Structure 1
């Protein structure tokens, strides 16, 4: 159902047929699936050997995060250089509990399979993403400009395209203050917001989310909203994802409330 636009400024087309089939099947279940979206192997960080100290540290972190995953987000590192392993993991804001833990297990297995014995890599699923690296990125993290890609629905909207694009962007911009507000006095920002808005006879559904360890959530979301003009003009659905923030809109409900 989706086609890819770019990843690190290059076109990405592989695996898209499988993505289309997976996403089509998931519409009726609000897309609460572990559908694979994309991945990137950090080839420059090298590979690890079986039984090595790096593998030992990696396995320790995999288990630790699995046990401690409570709020849908983890940024953690373990071990000393050159065997440091750093994890950044986040579930979508409406994916929690067993759904989040299931996506974590899927992401770990998927990254191991697609980036076999690579020390670093990133993998995105419908409900979560996992970023593994040999160097820890200190929080608060800066906006990730490099590891960003988009997906769009191949179906065009019926009617006035420019008006639809404008209303979609305005709706997404209006979600930013909700995502960056605090849950309560003294609490950290929520970094997630979702909603719906009527457009004539149809409804527009959308969500925005930032990783909980970045400094400039508002700036990150504004950046990826602007990216929609490059990928998704007049499309019935679209999304932009990175390791620091992401967004999605559709003309059907895809968010669990």
Structure 2
């Protein structure tokens, strides 16, 4: 579980499959969930601590693409982290996290937990200590509408590429890996895997392996692009360059 206590989602914010465009997305907001296990008024000590934490995350994350922290004490303590995609620039990271810290307050104004994903970053907070725990509760899928011409072979090679990148990401300090694979027929497959850096190498690998196992749910028989995006890790693959350096 992602938290020491469950992080249930509001009923209208269940896991969704979203059809993605065939063009690379900018730093658009992808999805958000608000926790419904507790709320507090805007003038409460918890919400004031949350404002402090979000300000710290906005300031600290662009330095190396990741930061985590706490604010407050006892029952008013809040935990949070922010992560930028491994290939984005410091400027884009700063912009994305700044947007996320503002947007999460609008989306979850009274909630004691929330998570928002952008194409370039992730931001999450909770009243419960979730550091070092795999969050596979908060997740969603995105898939390209186009089908591969040779479904069985395509999905096998996709799984092989993502597994290789998962192994690599788990061993790196950045917890991020990207790579390409020539799968024949003039088709090149591009892949990306990433974990939040509070996870151990073992748990990063476990999180990504579990996400890869959801390829059928995410991407049907053989969509030519797709993502499984969770609170602690994510992967993406496409048949076009979608990350910097590809």
TM-score by length of 2: 0.86
- Matched pairs, number: 230
Q: Which residue of 1 aligns with 2:175?
A: 191
**Structure 2 counterpart of 1:147, from 126, 131, 138:** 138
Q: After the TM superposition, which segments of 4 or more aligned residues of structure 1 sit over 6 Å from their partners?
A: none
**Structure 2 counterpart of 1:58, from 29, 45, 50:** 50
Q: Give the gaps of 5 or more residues in structure 2.
A: 1-8
Q: Which residue of 2 aligns with 1:230?
A: 217
**Structure 2 counterpart of 1:208, from 169, 179, 193:** 193
Distance 1:94 1:129 in 2: 14
Q: Deviations over 1:202-232 (max 9, x none)?
A: 2111100111111211111111111002221
1:68 aligns to 2:72 (yes or no): no
Distance 1:11 1:79 in 2: 32
- Secondary structure in 2 aligned to 1:86? strand
Q: Which residue of 2 aligns with 1:38?
A: 31
Q: Which residue of 2 aligns with 1:12?
A: 16
- Secondary structure in 2 aligned to 1:44? coil
1:240 aligns to 2:228 (yes or no): yes
How big is the shift at 1:245? 0.9
TM-score by length of 1: 0.82
**Cα RMSD, aligned residues only:** 2.1
How big is the shift at 1:178? 2.0
| 1:10–1:40 CA distance, 2 compared to 1 (3 A) | closer
Distance 2:124 2:231 in 1: 7
Is the 8 Å Cα contact of residues 34 and 106 (structure 1) preserved in structure 2?
no
Q: Which residue of 1 aligns with 2:127?
A: 134
